[in-house]
Chain A
Amino acid sequence: MTGVGLLLPEAVLARAGEILEGAPPKRRFFNGTEKRIVAAFAECVVPRTDTPGAADVGAPGWIEILVDDCYDYDDQMDFREGLMEMDQAARDRFGKGFSRLTYGQQVQLLTDLERSDIARAKADPHAPPSFIRSFKDLVKLVYVSTERGANEAFSYVAIPGRYDGAAPVQPTTKVEAPVW
């Protein structure tokens, strides 16, 4: 884990309570503990590097809105349960709640949890879908859909005006952010 990564937990915690400029209004769907876990998880998926991290783009606030308004009630319950299970896994292993772990511990824990989910899915194709995977997918989706995520870490072209089916990939060519 890089030094940059290890510095992140404080930065994440500091941001979790802020209202970022241009970010959507705050919700009260998650309680304080849940908000902190969501923010920490999101930053483990997309940390700040030379491009914005999850907190920088307001991902935690968007996640709360989407889970609040878009998730079916059953899925909301599963989501909350998933957060609590993740928190318990942190306590079992490190004796602290997930959001109080160092960034390195968080990444290590999530990496291991994801691996065991993948192994379980391989052994049993009927195993319930992994919470880690679906939460990660949500963070990815939110990140690429935000203005800074789409424009800084990806490329957002509103009106391409043409189609090139063999455009060269240069070291600076960014992956396209979704519009659809």
Chain B
Amino acid sequence: MYFNNINEPNTYDAIVVGSGISGGWAAKELCEKGMKTLVLERGRDFQHVTDYKTAYLAPWEFPHLKRSTRQMRREQSVQMRTGYTVSEAHGYLFVKDTEHPYIEHKRFDWMRGYQKGGRSITWGKQSYRLSPMDFEANAKEGIGTPWPVSYDDIAPWYSYAERFAGISGSKEGLPQLPDGDFQPPMALNAVELEAKKAIETKWKGRKLIIGRAAHLTEPTEEQINLGRGQCQYRNLCMRGCPFGAYFSSQAATLPAAARTGNMTLRPHSIVHSIILDDDKGRAKGVRVIDENTGQAIEFFARVIFLCASALPSTAILMRSTSKRNPNGMDESGALGHYLMDHHLGVGANGVFEGHLDKTTFGRRPNGIYIPRYRNLHEPGTGGYLRGFGYQGGASRQGWSRNIEGFGVEFKKQFTSFGAWEMGMGGFGECLPYYENKVELSKTRTDRWGLPLLEFDAEFKDNEKKMRIDMMNDAAEMLEAAGMKDISTHNSEPVIGLGIHEMGTARMGTSSKNSVLNKWNQVWGTPNVFCTDGAFMTSAGCQNPSLTYMAFTARAANYAVEELKKGNL
């Protein structure tokens, strides 16, 4: 399909900015529909399998037994805030903060991975649908702006995304967490099954299920043809999976795009802005800065997909100015506002005294999930809106537990099994607040001359109230499950730490209240689509990546249909 004169230099049918979860999907869909597509990745190339240099290393094969060095922590002082990202095994998949600074008026933990595939290599793989009530909540409660899309609009695209990506999970028939097209679920272990029984008996509206996760348990022919295999239960996913068993751009969407012969992927390509044609009300292409040479290059296409992740896509829209768009591509004033994340770091742990004759074999890269029940079957305590889900799991205590003493007696215990323990941590919905915002710095730039991002965002009262239930409910459920020595925790929630940045170029019903329309098109510039977390009108409490996949596929399909009709 040649909509442009492809013989013109640097000209394609479509440009996709970013190669992470959303960008990979846009590339796949556009290429499969015959579009000559240029994928621009700001970071380095990163090949599936052959570049996963740590994937098979044992702890003793790392220079520091996998621990982060002082040098790494100095270079990745923000990335290390999660407590798990900066390690010798996978720290190199996250940016050096010394090279990619930003400004925090309030603390914002921004985790970034600048390589082909982006954070699709290191993501958590939990994959849940938003529910009809999630899409309706804003309108019902008068919060933020209404979603312009209903669950029924997106449901077939969820199925489409699930079938290609491969999501393992159990069908539960829950209205707040719709079932999907799943591969067989992973197993709950002995103690999780005890907890499930106890919790579901005591509370009619609460369910404990196995996490729905993007790991292949029964690969389809399509997945096998792409070179993907079944999960091997190593739980070393963050190093890249040499079996292609979890969904990543590398394992799934980029090879699907590449085999069409329609994809050109250009690494080291930082998008400065979109080239606008005010007379036609369209975008012509994008301006790129080569990461290594600093050279400015222009690329042209009929349609542009912004999939750079929420904040970089927002920054590109802000930097894309013209006479008609002096403040960037937004007429509503919503661009950069309503920044959301999920709040976590709250829950409980306990010890289970039974099942001492059992343990787990294999390392399941997944855990339990307790779908939302507050403000559905049970009101929230103290009057807050929305709700939360839990993730967690049970395992046998081993070498790392605290044991008193020294010498032979200590070693005997150190090398033997402890009791089972179980923990659960909440993932809470964050409301969209106008005041939670990101802006372009007026004074400071990065080494490529692009303005730094300035963050001014925080979790507010609704989230903080919710956290009391998140903490206490976890303890109550563990107690009901027969756990002892229950301890609770509720750390000061930090925005960004959920690594689910959302909402800064939201969808809405009109150009007055939003940046994007119901097809993820920028109002006023219909050949620019944005399908990463920036479009989220509300957050739900579910992990959002599956939603980005579904919306990206839907938008790409729409874009090509419109091009064919001559409407774009």
Contact = CB atoms under 8 A, between A and B. Distances in A.
A110 B407 CA distance: 10
B400 A140 contact: yes
A127 interface: no
B415 A158 contact: no
Contacts of B396: 175
A141 B65 contact: yes
Contact of B407 (A5, A62, A164, A168): A5
A114 B408 contact: no
B411 A66 contact: no
Nearest to A1: B407
B408 to A, nearest CB: 6
Given A66-B64, A111-B406, A147-B58, A165 B360 contact: yes
Contacts of B417: 169, 173, 175
Nearest to B355: A166
A157 B362 CA distance: 8
B408 A49 contact: yes
Contact of B190 (A114, A146, A165, A177): A165
A153 interface: yes
A103 to B, nearest CB: 8
A73 B73 CA distance: 12
A159 interface: yes
Interface stretch (B123-131, B232-240, B475-483): B232-240
A72 B73 CA distance: 9
A179 B400 CA distance: 13
Contact of A167 (B70, B192, B361, B410): B361
A11 B316 CA distance: 65
B60 A111 contact: no
Given A44-B407, A161-B233, A180-B236, A175 B189 contact: no
B357 interface: yes
A156 B58 contact: yes
Contact of A160 (B64, B67, B362): B362
A51 B411 CA distance: 10
A179 B398 CA distance: 13
B67 A66 contact: yes
Contact of A44 (B234, B362, B406): B406
B60 A145 contact: yes
A159 B232 contact: yes
Interface in A132-170: 133, 136, 140-142, 144-147, 150, 153-154, 156-169
A175 B398 contact: yes
Given A71-B70, A180-B236, A150 B59 contact: yes
Interface of B, helix, strand, loop or mixed by DSSP:
loop
A10 interface: no
Interface of A, helix, strand, loop or mixed by DSSP:
mixed
B204 interface: no
A72 to B, nearest CB: 6
A179 B408 contact: no
A81 interface: no
B363 interface: yes
B376 interface: no
B359 interface: yes
Contacts of B66: 145
Contact of B360 (A5, A45, A153, A164): A164
Contacts of A123: none
Interface in A44-67: 44-47, 49, 51, 62, 65-66
A2 interface: yes
A159 B414 contact: no
A70 interface: yes
B70 A72 contact: yes
B405 A114 contact: yes
Given A44-B406, A69-B64, A114-B406, A178 B400 contact: yes
Interface in B406-431: 406-408, 410-411, 414-417
Nearest to B88: A70
A179 B363 contact: yes
Contact of A154 (B56, B232, B362, B399): B399
Contacts of B408: 1-2, 4-5, 47, 49
Nearest to A113: B406
A176 interface: yes
Contacts of A103: 407
B399 A165 contact: no
B188 interface: yes
A48 to B, nearest CB: 9
Nearest to A162: B362
B98 interface: no
Interface in A73-129: 73, 103, 106-107, 110-111, 114-115, 118
Contact of A176 (B234, B355, B398): B398
Contacts of A165: 187-190, 192-193, 360, 364
A27 interface: no
A110 B406 contact: yes
A178 B63 CA distance: 17
Contacts of B461: none
B406 A107 contact: yes
Contact of A69 (B70, B405, B407): B70
B358 interface: yes
A91 B58 CA distance: 41
Contacts of A45: 406, 410-411
Interface string B426-452: 000000000000000000000000000
B82 interface: no
Closest 6 A/B residue pairs (Cβ): A165-B189, A160-B362, A163-B362, A167-B361, A145-B59, A145-B65
13 contacts: A47-B407, A110-B406, A111-B406, A141-B400, A145-B66, A150-B60, A157-B361, A165-B189, A166-B358, A168-B357, A169-B357, A169-B359, A175-B398
Given A144-B399, A164-B360, A178-B59, 6 more contacts: A145-B66, A153-B415, A164-B362, A169-B417, A175-B417, A179-B236
